[in-house]
Amino acid sequence: MKFGIDRLITEPALRRPLAGQRLALLAHPASVTADLTHSLDALAALPDLNLTAAFGPQHGLRGDKQDNMMESPDFTDPAHGIPVFSLYGEVRRPTDAMMASFD
């Protein structure tokens, strides 16, 4: 059995429909590959994908927001330079502006 993220990484045919698209990722701390690479890092490393945004739930994209009921702001991912939108901040669902950042 393989995780879907691992198949996406190792099987280029699965990525073909994504070519030329601006992509977003909704992920949380357990969104990892079989070798425990965070899905954001794994997808950002693929030259044929154009990752333009990410979304993080209550405890943040990478689990850095562990305090219960603490809202977290949007930020720019320091490693990949893309916006990371919090779904547990000022809003609890994507806004039109957030949705406009990807196809």
CATH code, domain with 77: 3.40.50.12170
Per-residue model confidence (pLDDT) at position 32: 96
Residue 77 or residue 67, greater confidence: 77
- The C-alpha atoms of residue 25 and residue 23 are separated, in whole angstroms, by 7
Percent share of the chain, pLDDT over 90: 67
Residue 9 structural domain: 4-99
pLDDT, one tens digit per residue, over 21-56 is 999 999 988 999 999 999 999 999 999 999 999 998
Q: Give the helix/strand (H/E) hosting 41.
A: helix 39-44
pLDDT confidence bin for 92, thresholds 50/70/90: confident
Could you give the number of structural domains in the chain? 1
Global confidence as pTM: 0.87
What does the alpha-carbon distance between residue 85 and residue 49 come to, in Å, rounded to a whole number?
Answer: 19
